[in-house]
Amino acid sequence: MGILVNGIEVDPSGWPTPEFAAVHELLRQRAFKVGLLDGNTDREGSMEAVETLLQREVEAPEPSEEECRRWYDGHKQEYRSGELVHARHILFQVAPGVPVQKVRKLARGMLMELQARPEKFAERARTKSNCPSGANGGELGQLQRGSTVPEFEQAVFGGNTIGVLPDLVRSRHGFHIVAVDRRIPGEQLPYEAVAGKVADKLRSAAEERALRQYISMLAGGAALEGVDLNAATSPLVQ
């Protein structure tokens, strides 16, 4: 069954997921309704109109000093100087037109294998990884915070595991099997040194919540077929 948004058929090809495609059409229709585009606007123009729409209609509160300090106190491990991780990975890239479920199943099967036989990691990286690092057994070398995409950083720095991580890591690039070989703790940074970063993080989180609520509101008043936006587990817009 195809995807319909208020009777308009949506082509999911060229989008990361069908949900992305449906959300863009939902926002495109809203932009048309409020006069930000006309019926002849091309895809690039519609994306610009959607961006303008979100700037106008989605508002997120600024984090307070108290909220920032409370976040810092509960997440001090994220704010360390000199913290390093030596890691390897195997990337299963999600390509347009390839079912995400199929890629996830393949990655999960290999994860289970490598948890039982971690000595096979380098060999599997060389033959199966979609990342150039596969040629070197998946070696990423010495990583520091800020050197990778946020999803990957959270996975490798967010715990104390040494060896193959127990779960797949999902990022904008696909599914990763990750092995952490060494952790260097570093030194704790005081709140005053990272206050700006804390505020940026909370601001981004507030913007994402506001965006999800806005999309949920639009979806609640729309006729959707072939897609369930309430079941989406990844960010719906970029």
What is the tens place of the pLDDT at every residue in 38-87?
766 676 778 889 999 999 999 999 999 999 999 999 998 888 888 899 99
In whole angstroms, give the CA distance from residue 37 to residue 23. 17
Q: What are phi and psi of 8, to 5 degrees?
A: -95, 125
* 8 pLDDT above the threshold of 80: yes
Burial label, 196 (beta-carbon count in 10 A; 0-12, 13-18, 19+): exposed
Taken in order of first residue, the domains within the chain and their CATH numbers are 3-62+194-231 (no CATH), 80-188 (3.10.50.40)
Burial 66-81, CB ≥16 within 10 A → b, else e:
eebeebbeeeeebbbe
pTM reported for the whole predicted model = 0.61
CB of 215 closer than 8 Å to CB of 23: yes
CB of 168 closer than 8 Å to CB of 177: yes
Query: pLDDT class for 198, splitting at 50, 70, 90?
Result: very high
Q: What is the pLDDT of residue 41?
A: 66
What is the tens place of the pLDDT at every residue in 102-159?
999 999 999 999 999 999 999 999 999 999 999 999 999 999 888 898 889 989 998 8
Q: What is the pLDDT of residue 233?
A: 45
3-state secondary structure 154-194: HHHHCCCCCEECCCCEEECCEEEEEEEEEEECCEECCHHHH
Rounded mean pLDDT of 164-176? 93
